[in-house]
Amino acid sequence: MINTNSKIFVAGHKGLVGSAIVRRLKEKNFKNILIREKSRLDLTDQRQVLKFLKKEKPEFIFLAAAKVGGIYSNNKFKAEYIYNNLAIQINIIHSAYLSNIKDLIFLGSSCVYPRLCKQPIKESYLMNGQLEKTNDAYAIAKIAGIKMCQSYNEQYKTNYKCLMPTNTFGPNDNYNELNSHFLPALIKKAHNLKYNKKSTLTLWGNGKVKREAIYVDDIADACIYFMNKKLKETFINIGTGKDYSILDYAKLIIKLVVPDKKIKIKYDLSKPNGTPRKVLDVSLAKSYGWSYKNTLKEALYKTYKDFSKLKKR
Spatial distance between the Cα atoms of 221 and 30, rounded to a whole number of angstroms = 13
Q: Angle, to 10 degrees, between the axis of helix 296-312 and the axis of helix 182-194?
A: 60
Q: Which of 113, 138, 152, 160 is catalytic?
A: 138
Cα separation values, 293 from 162, 169, 242, 296, 299, Å: 21, 14, 13, 10, 10
Question: How many other CB atoms are there within 10 angstroms of residue 2's CB atom?
Answer: 15
Catalytic residue check, 156: no
Map residue 81 onto helix, strand or coil.
helix
Return the H-helix or E-strand segment holding 97. helix 78-98
Among candidate residues 195, 215, 208, 96, the one with its CA nearest the CA of residue 145: 96
Among candidate residues 223, 191, 189, 216, the one with its CA nearest the CA of residue 68: 216
Spatial distance between the Cα atoms of 159 and 177, rounded to a whole number of angstroms = 38
Among candidate residues 3, 9, 2, 5, the one with its CA nearest the CA of residue 96: 9
Spatial distance between the Cα atoms of 227 and 60, rounded to a whole number of angstroms = 8
Spatial distance between the Cα atoms of 174 and 231, rounded to a whole number of angstroms = 32
- Strand bridging mode 159-165 / 235-238: parallel
Kindly tell me the number of DSSP H helices and DSSP E strands found in the chain.
Answer: 10, 12
- Strand bridging mode 264-268 / 200-204: parallel
Residues with active-site annotation: 138
